[in-house]
């Protein structure tokens, strides 16, 4: 286990095109991620009239939902004497500081200073950030200037069925999970029986190619030549058909994002398109909700026990823990919180990992040099495929009904996330 953080000077962190892992506000990779919309929160976790602390990309914010229902994101602390605004009172679409009542509108403009004789509210402003709620998630643009066009995912927005929303936190750098998503060969070793469903995805059968959206990974099955295709979307997304998790539901088309909380922790957000209706949907929904309750062990904590040698994977009750996530925790957190990639020995099975890293480095160079970057777009050709089965994309039309949005996160996971995303306030000197 190694930690690259200690080896990197401040200068190298901000200029090194190989540094894909540090994502604070002053880092190159951090500024690149901020130049695109990122999911940052579950809409269901933000109640109208309430504010929450949020740490994302190593930066603190106050996120609140106005009494009108609109979400807003602003700098974290009051400009007066620094009390966190997440402790304040939401009034309409504005927020009032808990300490002396300075009030800010949703653009961050101070509009009231109750205790002041000579008022200078007009000169006081916090930064606010564009947000948009879409498919049950709150997306934010944390970059400078005008945000780019908001990327839509109509195949998840218009179909008859359930849209399951899930997420988890993992205690390692986000790029380790991103690498892992491009590495289908780990399935047989890490996930055992789950891999049997996917079939032979050995390294020798992988082909990679740059797409309009990112990188296309194609696996061909030796027995019948059928293809498994997953689509990586620059800079931190993946779309593919995932394993069935319900006996009545076939392959699920899914999209994932990996978003840093800080450099040693990140969130995976995911949307699953479940094209089930009527009684089938009702039964699947009930089973998924029952599973949320059943899981009462945080996979993050169990992984630490296993990596610390105090427990074995075989000792874990699979009913009480999300074992797939736990298995990936052991593999990825087991690399160290931030892996030092200079020691990697990549083989042919790592061709997807290598290509995405190279693409990132190329784009970082262009970004740093102020040159145009590739405008990544999910064109019709960018489709996943799964051994010729399921994942029917053609049901999505702009006129189809919106799916029912269903939160499927285990309740224990929600507790972990609330703690991690608000962690800056539990730390001495967190500001």
Please state, in angstroms and rounded to a whole number, the distance separating the CA atoms of residues 212 and 233.
Answer: 9
Residue 99 binds: one of ligand FES, Fe ion, none (C-beta under 5 to 8 A by kind): ligand FES
Q: Which is nearer to ligand FES, 94 or 339 (CB)?
A: 94
Query: Minimum CB separation from ligand FES for residue 422, in Å?
Result: 19
Say whether residue 179 binds Fe ion (CB under 5 A): no
- CA atoms within 13 A of residue 40's CA, in its CB half-sphere: 35
What does 80 interact with, of ligand FES, Fe ion, none (CB < 5 to 8 A by kind)? ligand FES
Q: Which is nearer to Fe ion, 84 or 230 (CB)?
A: 230
What is the rounded CA–CA span in Å between residue 190 and residue 188? 6
Per-residue binding letters, 282-321, with Fe ion (x by CB under 5 A)? ----------------------------------------
328 binds, among ligand FES, Fe ion, none (CB under 5 to 8 A by kind): Fe ion
166 makes contact with Fe ion (CB under 5 A)? no
R_g over Cα of the chain: 22
Name the minimum Å distance from CB 79 to ligand FES: 8
Least spacing, CB of residue 50 vs ligand FES, in Å: 18
In terms of CB distance, is 90 or 185 closer to ligand FES? 90
Phi/psi of residue 217, nearest 5 degrees: -110, 125
Interface residue list for ligand FES (CB under 6 A): 78, 80-81, 83, 97, 99-102
Least distance CB 233 / ligand FES (angstroms):
40
Using the contact rule CB under 5 A, the part of the chain among 3-11, 324-332, 344-352, 379-387 near Fe ion is 324-332
Please check whether residue 147 is in contact with residue 391, taking contact to mean a CB–CB distance below 8 angstroms: no
* CB of 310 vs Fe ion, minimal distance in Å: 23
Q: How far is the CB of 77 from ligand FES (least distance, A)?
A: 8
CA distance 43 to 372: 33
CB of 187 to Fe ion, least distance (A): 6
Core vs surface per residue 54-93: b (16+ CB within 10 A) or e: bbbbbbbbbbbbbeeeebbbbbbbbbbeebbbbebbbeeb
**Residue whose CB is nearest to Fe ion in the complex, by number:** 328
Please state the closest distance from residue 114 (CB atom) to ligand FES, in A: 8
Report the residue number, 58 or 76, with the smaller CB distance to ligand FES: 76
Nearer to ligand FES, 126 or 131 (CB): 126
Give the residue from 163, 422, 192 showing the smallest Cα distance to 326. 192
Nearer to ligand FES, 52 or 79 (CB): 79
Query: How remote is the C-alpha of 133 from its chain's centroid?
Result: 15
DSSP-derived letter for residue 188 is: I
For residue 97, the partner it binds in ligand FES, Fe ion, none, with Cβ less than 5 to 8 A by kind, is ligand FES
Total chain residues near Fe ion (CB under 5 A)? 1
**Encoding tokens for residue 107?**
């653009």
Q: How far is the CB of 128 from ligand FES (least distance, A)?
A: 17
Q: In this complex, which beta carbon is closest to Fe ion, that of residue 28 or of residue 201?
A: 201
Comparing CB distances to Fe ion, the nearer of 35 and 242 is 242
Q: Which stretch binds Fe ion (CB under 5 A): 26-34, 266-274, 327-335, 418-426?
A: 327-335
Nearest to 85 by CA among 69, 105, 68, 115: 105
The yes or no reply on residue 328 touching Fe ion (CB under 5 A) is yes
Cα–Cα distance, 385 to 99 (Å, whole number): 55
Q: Would you give the DSSP letter of residue 425?
A: G
Strands 59-65 vs 51-56: parallel, antiparallel or unpaired = antiparallel
HSE, side-chain direction, 13 A CA sphere, residue 375: 6
Question: Which residue is associated with the tokens 């990996």?
Answer: 258
Nearer to Fe ion among residue 5 and residue 194 (C-beta): 194
Contacts of 292 (CB under 8 A, 6+ apart): 408, 409, 410, 411
Q: What are the C-alpha distances in Å from 66 to residues 83, 100, 106?
A: 20, 20, 9
329 lies in the site for Fe ion, by CB under 5 A: no
- Which residues, at least 6 apart from 411, have a Cβ–Cβ distance to it below 8 Å? 292, 293, 295
- Least separation in angstroms between CB 166 and ligand FES: 37
If the CB atoms of residues 99 and 387 are measured against ligand FES, the closer one turns out to be: 99
> Least distance (Å) from ligand FES to the CB of residue 96?
8
Contact indicator for 208, 355 with CB cutoff of 8 Å: yes
* From ligand FES, Fe ion, none, interface partner of 385 (C-beta below 5 to 8 A by class): none
Q: Does 183 bind Fe ion (CB under 5 A)?
A: no
Q: State the Cα–Cα distance between residues 299 and 285, nearest whole angstrom.
A: 23
Cis ω on the peptide bond leading into residue 235 (within 30° of 0)? yes
Where on the chain is the footprint of Fe ion (CB under 5 A)? Answer: 328
């Amino acid at each position: 286990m190694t930690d690259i953080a200690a080896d990197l000077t401040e200068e190298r962190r901000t200029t090194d095109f190989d540094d894909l892992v540090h994502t604070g506000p002053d880092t190159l990779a951090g500024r690149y991620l901020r130049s695109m919309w990122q999911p940052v929160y579950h809409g269901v976790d933000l109640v109208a009239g309430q504010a929450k602390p949020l740490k994302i990309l190593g930066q603190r914010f106050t996120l609140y939902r106005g009494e009108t229902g609109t979400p807003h994101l602003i700098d974290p602390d009051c400009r007066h004497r620094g009390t966190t605004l997440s402790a304040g009172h939401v009034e309409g679409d504005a927020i009032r500081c808990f300490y002396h009542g300075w009030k800010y509108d949703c653009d961050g403009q101070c509009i009231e200073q109750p205790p002041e004789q000579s008022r200078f509210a007009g000169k006081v402003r916090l930064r606010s950030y564009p947000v948009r709620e879409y498919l049950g998630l709150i997306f934010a643009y944390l970059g400078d200037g005008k945000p780019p066009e908001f990327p839509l995912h109509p195949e998840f927005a218009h179909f008859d069925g359930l849209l399951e929303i899930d997420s988890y936190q993992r205690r390692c750098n986000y790029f380790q999970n991103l690498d892992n998503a491009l590495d289908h060969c780990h399935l047989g070793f890490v996930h055992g029986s789950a891999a049997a469903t996917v079939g032979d995805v050995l390294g020798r059968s992988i082909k990679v190619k740059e797409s309009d959206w990112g990188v296309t990974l194609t696996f061909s099955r030796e027995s019948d030549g059928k293809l498994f295709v997953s689509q990586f979307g620059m800079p931190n997304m993946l779309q593919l058909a995932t394993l069935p998790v319900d006996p009545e539901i076939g392959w699920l088309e899914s999209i994932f994002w990996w978003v840093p909380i800080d450099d040693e922790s990140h969130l995976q957000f995911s949307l699953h398109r479940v094209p089930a209706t009527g009684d089938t949907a009702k039964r699947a929904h009930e089973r998924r909700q029952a599973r949320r309750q059943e899981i009462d062990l945080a996979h993050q904590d169990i992984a630490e026990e296993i990596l610390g040698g105090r427990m074995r994977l075989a000792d874990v009750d699979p009913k009480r823990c999300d074992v797939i996530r736990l298995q990936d925790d052991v593999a990825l957190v087991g690399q160290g919180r931030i892996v030092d990639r200079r020691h990697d020995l990549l083989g042919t099975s790592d061709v997807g990992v290598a290509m995405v890293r190279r693409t990132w480095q190329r784009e970082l160079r262009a970004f740093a040099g102020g040159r145009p970057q590739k405008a990544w777009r999910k064109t019709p050709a960018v489709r996943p495929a799964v051994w010729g089965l399921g994942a029917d994309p053609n049901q999505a039309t702009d006129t189809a009904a919106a799916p029912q949005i269903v939160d499927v996160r285990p309740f224990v996971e929600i507790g972990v996330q609330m703690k991690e995303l608000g962690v800056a306030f539990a730390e001495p000197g967190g500001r």
